[in-house]
Structure 1
Amino acid sequence: MKKFINSPETVVPDYLAGLVAANPDIIALDPSPRVLRRTDIGARRKVGLIAGGGSGCEPLHTGFVGPGMLDAACPGEIFTSPVPDQIIAATRATESGAGTVHIVKNFTGEVMNFGIAQEILAFEDIRPVTVLINDDCSIPDDDESAGRRGLGATVLVEKIAGAAAERGDDLDAVVSIARRVNARARTFSVGLTSCIPPARGKPIYQMADDEMDIGIGISGSPGRKRVPLRQAAEIAGVLLQEVLSDLKPAKGARILTLLSGLGGTPESELYLLYGEVHACLMRAGYDPARALVGNYVTSLEQMGAALTLLELDDEMTELWDAPVHTADLRWGR
């Protein structure tokens, strides 16, 4: 294992210290319990947006705290859910009287710990509303599993709902647009390698050089099937087929495409793959109206890509285009 770390035990606090040092005008860190928050918390009455998850998936959550997106994030240890104390502290810090939204990816630990935090907060008459993200179409939507995982749609919900909260929408409106985005988004992922958690010191699993893993999650989760490695155009076809067959957008629909690397895929390869996706969408009669390409939902240094499609409406498009100013997503200011 070769990584830029001091020790496996301090990876997360060391990362957060550097993140805050590079963006002191946007974010501040409350170290105990560990909460990353906007520096302008309490400046005005607005709906608060909080999210959290295991570290190692950056810039997910921590890179998206700031005007136009999240008010606070609760980073757990590497690939480990945040604890209830973090969620409680973040909610207290961001509660301005307008209500709070918890954006929760559908992973067992996150659902459980956010639920525990909400039960405790209820004694203080603070009752956040949960928006559950479950856009992973590689998992059947049935009663035989914990349900579909929350993947790339998390970024889209955080941006679009964050813009709604920033413009002053009330709690019901923010929750409504967040749930609408989640309902109209789907994600499917492919992996080319595993990843190496610092405390483990070796890959979670092994893959042959001529294989790819389809239907993977984040945090080093393996996929549903190993298949021979294919060319980029074929991989784009696999990703699109899986997403479009599940999402079923209307013909001619405007589509927001998020093509996220998993941490180790070069930007050149991601844009090459996006070009194939874009061309396929055009040929299929869709309007690829917006795109975001890069490493946004990752698994440390894993090589691979995740395709998220959102069927846009006018309000979603307006809110997506609205100004945002975070460490890892900025435009319009």
Structure 2
Amino acid sequence: MKKLINNPENVVEEMIDGYVKAHPSYVRRLAENDRSLVSSMETKVDKVGILIGGGSGHEPAFMGYVGAGMADGVAVGNIFASPPPAPILEVTKAINKGAGVLYLYGNYAGDVMNFGMAADLAEMEEIQVEMVLASDDVASAPKEEKDRRRGIAGEFFVYKTAGAAADFGYKLEEVARVARQTNENTRSMGVGLSPCSLPQTGEPSFELGENEMEVGLGHHGEPGIRKAQIESADKVADELLANIFGDMTLNKGDDVAVLVNGLGSTPRMELYIMFRRVEQVLKEKGINIYRSYVGDYITSLEMGGCSITLTKLDDELKKMIDHPVDCPMFVQK
């Protein structure tokens, strides 16, 4: 699999270097750690700091969501790997404005361990930290074991609402409550059509037959619930939605935010064909689309496929979803 890289061992550092140089008005790199990026914009005193992070390879996540209305800083890990505690701690210290810092990350063992260690170190420096784990992937564990579920594209809505709550001046515990409520109201499921390859190996991350798809695949290529012959976009969307509807309570008249998220190499044409079917199904059920998002929001290098995310909205979450955002890779007016 062809890639435009130099030394495979330097891809993350060179990506960060290029990113910071491309967007100096948005982000800057901390001298204390090359994997620590914070907003170039000055934030007000007593605002809760929002810290996100995870492995590289998911761009525009996670760096692309540092900016006004969303995250204040990001800790960057190796490809598909958690950042270690050191860059997390440095971001924490840099974005703490006296109101504490909220960590937002996906429910993966490495992230849980490293963000937890960083939180302990931060509290030793008298910085109050709260943590919220995204766990929206319905395919990764049954409903009765929700705490085992991994976070996938639904993390985007957790960032969006938490960033807004912090901007509105909510206290740390309240910002965390909004983030947890968003995660509780969010369900996602994906389908994989083709693997990605890591720069260090050049080998496919998993195997699929020429006409196969992986239903329920994870963002790192984790196995889904079944392999099957590829079907029409409508049938794929129907299956993903059926699993989502079976896992959350949605009634006629409810409002939702919808995300059809590309995994890296799926053309917008195909994503909009998927969204077309999502809109049809929701309309048939009398469920209102309050806001919709279509595109590459949390990817997996050049993986083929997409995921569908639904977030049930109440009046408070609508206010958070509507809040303006200005980040290098995501703008909402």
Bucket of the pairwise TM-score, normalised by the shorter protein: over 0.9
**How big is the shift at 1:221?**
2.1
Query: Is contact 1:187–1:306 with CA below 8 Å preserved after alignment?
Result: yes
Task: Please say if 1:2 is aligned against 2:2.
Answer: yes
In structure 1, what is the equivalent of residue 297 of structure 2?
296
Query: Is contact 1:41–1:94 with CA below 8 Å preserved after alignment?
Result: no
Secondary structure class of the residue paired with 1:247: coil
In structure 2, what is the equivalent of residue 11 of structure 1?
11
Task: Please say if 1:154 is aligned against 2:164.
Answer: no
Q: Distance in 1 between matches of 2:127 and 2:34?
A: 19
**How big is the shift at 1:146?**
7.2
Structure 2: gaps spanning 5 or more residues: none
Q: Distance in 1 between matches of 2:66 and 2:146?
A: 31
In structure 1, what is the equivalent of residue 41 of structure 2?
40
**How big is the shift at 1:222?**
2.7
Query: Is contact 1:41–1:71 with CA below 8 Å preserved after alignment?
Result: no
In structure 2, what is the equivalent of residue 110 of structure 1?
111
Aligned identity (percent) is 38
Query: Is contact 1:51–1:70 with CA below 8 Å preserved after alignment?
Result: yes
Q: Distance in 1 between matches of 2:237 and 2:280?
A: 10
Cα gap change, 1:145/1:153 in structure 2, threshold over 3 Å: closer, same or farther? Answer: closer
Any residues of structure 2 matched to 1:186-205 within 5 Å, and which?
186-205=187-206
Q: Which amino acid aligns with 2:52?
A: A
**How big is the shift at 1:200?**
1.3
| Aligned residue pairs, count | 332
**How big is the shift at 1:45?**
2.6
Secondary structure class of the residue paired with 1:67: coil
In structure 1, what is the equivalent of residue 22 of structure 2?
22
1:157-182 per-position Cα deviation (integer Å, ceiling 9, x unaligned): 10111011112121122111111100
In structure 1, what is the equivalent of residue 124 of structure 2?
123
**How big is the shift at 1:21?**
1.9
In structure 2, what is the equivalent of residue 95 of structure 1?
96
Q: Distance in 2 between matches of 1:268 and 1:143?
A: 36
Q: Distance in 1 between matches of 2:280 and 2:146?
A: 35
Q: Which amino acid aligns with 1:202?
A: E
Query: Is contact 2:68–2:326 with CA below 8 Å preserved after alignment?
Result: yes
In structure 2, what is the equivalent of residue 177 of structure 1?
178
Secondary structure class of the residue paired with 1:260: strand
Secondary structure class of the residue paired with 1:19: helix
1:118-147 per-position Cα deviation (integer Å, ceiling 9, x unaligned): 122222122310111111100224788970
Q: TM-score, normalised by structure 2?
A: 0.96
Query: Is contact 1:56–1:219 with CA below 8 Å preserved after alignment?
Result: no
Q: Distance in 2 between matches of 1:297 and 1:79?
A: 12
Query: Is contact 2:44–2:97 with CA below 8 Å preserved after alignment?
Result: no
Structure 1: gaps spanning 5 or more residues: none
Secondary structure class of the residue paired with 1:40: coil
1:84-141 per-position Cα deviation (integer Å, ceiling 9, x unaligned): 0011111111111111101121000000001111122222122310111111100224
RMSD: 1.6
In structure 2, what is the equivalent of residue 263 of structure 1?
264
Cα gap change, 1:287/1:144 in structure 2, threshold over 3 Å: closer, same or farther? Answer: closer
Q: TM-score, normalised by structure 1?
A: 0.96
Any residues of structure 2 matched to 1:232-247 within 5 Å, and which?
232-247=233-248
Query: Is contact 2:45–2:98 with CA below 8 Å preserved after alignment?
Result: no
In structure 1, what is the equivalent of residue 71 of structure 2?
70
Query: Is contact 2:143–2:247 with CA below 8 Å preserved after alignment?
Result: no
**How big is the shift at 1:315?**
1.5
1:275-323 per-position Cα deviation (integer Å, ceiling 9, x unaligned): 1111111011211121100011111000000111000111211211111
Q: Distance in 2 between matches of 1:300 and 1:23?
A: 21
Q: Distance in 2 between matches of 1:68 and 1:2?
A: 36
Q: Distance in 2 between matches of 1:131 and 1:144?
A: 17
Query: Is contact 1:263–1:300 with CA below 8 Å preserved after alignment?
Result: yes
Q: Distance in 2 between matches of 1:285 and 1:109?
A: 40
Query: Is contact 2:190–2:215 with CA below 8 Å preserved after alignment?
Result: yes
Q: Distance in 1 between matches of 2:153 and 2:257?
A: 12
